[in-house]
Amino acid sequence: MKSQSPRRPLLLGHRGASKYAVENTPAAFGLALQHGCDGFEFDIRYTGDARGVICHDSLYKRRRIDRRTFLELELPSAEDVIRNYAGRAYLDVELKVPGDTAPILQALHKTDPTRFVISSFLPDVLTAVNDRHPELPLGLICENLRQFRRWTSLPICAAMLHRRLASRDVIEELHGAGRQVFVWTVNRERQMRQFADLGIDGLISDDTRLLVRTLRPLKQI
């Protein structure tokens, strides 16, 4: 009897094609799709005037994002990125900090809920979104076991695991409870294949070109 071939997980660029373009920019997002990824992960913070912008760090050009206005920073608008890409890419929308999510959720409201996930390291952020919109798909980002242990008490459909946490037992535990498993940030071909063999649902990488070349031939989930 032949062994069943692994299914291909969703292939996502980490902050876009961040190995090949400036991370968290439209250029990086477009390049991830051009390379053949299904979508990309990106980070949202809030300005001093409560606008959602795309940036990983709390500082941008040595300026505190939460103390500057949207016009001062000239960063991509979270709502614009969602509207521009929601129809053609899977979106992993990471909320880095608490804030007014209403404009972001409004931008997502016509998007097929199987085509995005709202993720965060912060349980309170996920709970706040769920309280207002329990139908939206949420993912808990975990970098260590302390964070991972919170998943059973949260209204999530997915766990976004650092690659060090993504053991076979953990993946089977989550899948057994009906949760999806995304793994980040995987930049080596051997690990990409290993995680695909374990049946994960999404793989997030800086090296979008290698990711697609390695796993695109597999049948997608």
Structure-block tokens of residue 186: 């995987």
Report d(CA 137, CA 133) in Å as an integer.
9
pLDDT at 217: 83
pLDDT at 2: 46
Q: Sketch out the chain's domains with CATH numbers.
A: 15-215 (3.20.20.190)
Q: How much is the average pLDDT of 115-144?
A: 97
| Strand pairing report for 39-46 and 10-14 | parallel
Q: How much is the average pLDDT of 48-57?
A: 98
**Span 151-208, pLDDT tens digits:** 999 999 999 999 999 999 999 999 999 999 999 999 999 999 999 999 999 999 999 9
Report d(CA 14, CA 92) in Å as an integer.
9
SS (H, E, C) 181-212: EEEECCCCHHHHHHHHHCCCCEEEECCHHHHH
Q: What is the pTM of this model?
A: 0.95
pLDDT at 219: 65
Q: Average pLDDT over the chain, rounded to whole?
A: 95
Q: How much is the average pLDDT of 14-43?
A: 98
Report d(CA 33, CA 42) in Å as an integer.
14
**Span 83-101, pLDDT tens digits:** 999 999 999 999 999 999 9
Asked if residue 52 lies in contact with residue 44, where contact means CB atoms within 8 angstroms, the answer is yes
Report d(CA 175, CA 158) in Å as an integer.
9
Those residues whose C-beta lies under 8 Å from the C-beta of residue 30, and which sit 6 or more positions away, are: 16
Report d(CA 13, CA 182) in Å as an integer.
12
> Using 50, 70 and 90 to split pLDDT, how confident is the model at 3?
very low
pLDDT at 4: 57
Report d(CA 177, CA 219) in Å as an integer.
24
Q: How much is the average pLDDT of 48-54?
A: 97
- The single-letter code of the amino acid at 189 is E
Q: Is the pLDDT of residue 218 over 80?
A: no
Asked if residue 65 lies in contact with residue 59, where contact means CB atoms within 8 angstroms, the answer is yes
